[in-house]
Amino acid sequence: MRSSGKRPLARGLPRVHLQAGVVRWLLLGIAGAALLGVALAGALSAIQGSSAMPRGLALVTLQHLPPWARALIWALLGAALLTVALVRLLRDAPALGHIGATALLPEERLPRIVAVGGGHGLSTLLRGLKNQPVQLTAIVTVADDGGSSGILRRETGMLPPGDARNCLVALAQAEPLMTQLFEYRFGHGAGLDGHAFGNLFIAAMAGIAGSFEGAIAQASRVLAVRGRILPSTLQNVTLCGEVRGGTHAPNADALTTVYGESAITEADGVVERVYLQPDDAHGYPEAIRALLEADLIVLGPGSLFTSVLPNLLVPDIRAAITASAALKVFACNVATQPGETDGFSVGDHMRALATHLGSGFCHYVLANGNQDVELPAGSGSTLVGTDFCGGDGCELVLANVVDADLPWRHDADKLAAAIMRLYEAHKPAAGDA
């Protein structure tokens, strides 16, 4: 049963202090304007009708009109200016622009959404949801071992920063130059080739802050991130996969085990199962708390076996999702991923998840309903078919979520809007099961 009482706010959310500060200074500004108005009115009253008032000032202050007409005109003009100022404040202020007038609502009334995944899929979802009136938490995988993240992981022993960096950029409200800086990737130079500046920044900040999670928190402040970004675990885990056929197998039916997230896709076979070593890694406490307090949990989108499942294979994370009273949605990919989900339909995605997590892990699967798009020739991908038989209490919801320019990916705003429509239509009422 969902409790009707108020739950404590998750730590690390700056929104309450931000709202209080904005309202406080807004009221102080209005009071100052009112005092200036009183002073100006007193000064005009003192010289009204006297020879000391210049003719030009008399015309500007409407001295030729009756007092009641002047009062009405000034009142209307003042109200208009105040309205314009408030509208522009709500639209343009970095702290408020993403939610408009709802920023003045109590924080408890904003739904808590936790997105679980990694890679481009998760960052796309976050980019859309940050413009919605919600509290956001992203839980990211730390199993990446390829590219810049893999190098830093091997050479420094730190957790891979790549997925966290993608989320930082997606949720950033800082100047565009700062987000471009975090995404900048070095193209040459001894030891720098291929490194993303954001990864190096997080690595340096981890040394200063003393921890990976502390580095993410500090980077979030630098980029004025809306929401929180949390690792699923702080342990050094390796993603392993059982792959049938592919480049490492002696024949098409042979089952081989590959080690490392990047090696699973590169094996170019049929992924039968993935698992973590060690398989008893502890979930990050703040991530567990966020899941238990969530109103909506979104799994994906993203690489099924190498971005979404690595989080869910952490026992504490899986248990928290199961125990949470939140509405649970799996956001299925728009297109298949070569070497990982070749030929998969919605039903195939769900069967793979059920194999690893058991049945009944979500209430809805949100999939792309627009099948009238063409993928680039030679992409190796196909649109994920909508075949799904349902079962285990999971219901299929279709929506047009395709990016018109990149039809193998989600459109951030379309996906966020579809998620919010689903939540508003099916959220449990307070006190309901």
The answer to whether the beta carbons of residues 269 and 248 sit under 8 Å apart is yes
Percent with pLDDT over 90 in the chain: 56
Predicted confidence band of residue 240 (pLDDT cuts 50, 70, 90): very high
d(CA 182, CA 195): 11
- For 186, other C-beta atoms within 10 Å of its C-beta total 14
Q: Is the peptide bond before 14 cis (omega within 30 degrees of 0)?
A: no
- For 374, other C-beta atoms within 10 Å of its C-beta total 7
d(CA 377, CA 201): 38
Residues in the chain: 433
Sheet holding 296-299, edge to edge: 228-231, 135-140, 112-117, 296-299, 327-331, 364-368, 395-399
Q: Which domains does the chain have, with CATH numbers?
A: 15-104 (no CATH), 110-426 (3.40.50.10680)
d(CA 378, CA 389): 30
Predicted confidence band of residue 100 (pLDDT cuts 50, 70, 90): very low
Q: Tally the C-alpha atoms within 13 A of residue 327's C-alpha that lie toward its C-beta.
A: 24
Among residues 176, 179, 152, 158, the alpha carbon closest in space to that of 167 is found at 179
Q: What is the pLDDT of residue 375?
A: 92
Position 45 pLDDT exceeds 60: yes
The b-or-e profile of 350-373 (16+ CB within 10 A means b, else e) is bebbbebbeeebbbbbbbbeeeee
Predicted confidence band of residue 36 (pLDDT cuts 50, 70, 90): low
- Judged by average pLDDT, the poorest of 27-36, 145-154, 157-166 is 27-36
Position 91 pLDDT exceeds 70: no
Q: What is the pLDDT of residue 75?
A: 72
Sheet holding 270-277, edge to edge: 255-259, 238-244, 270-277
The whole-model pTM stands at 0.76
The tens digit of pLDDT for each residue in 299-327 reads 999 999 999 999 999 999 999 999 999 99
Q: What is the pLDDT of residue 359?
A: 85
d(CA 168, CA 136): 12
- For 5, other C-beta atoms within 10 Å of its C-beta total 7
The tens digit of pLDDT for each residue in 8-34 reads 333 333 343 344 445 555 666 676 677
Per-residue pLDDT, averaged over 249-273, amounts to 90
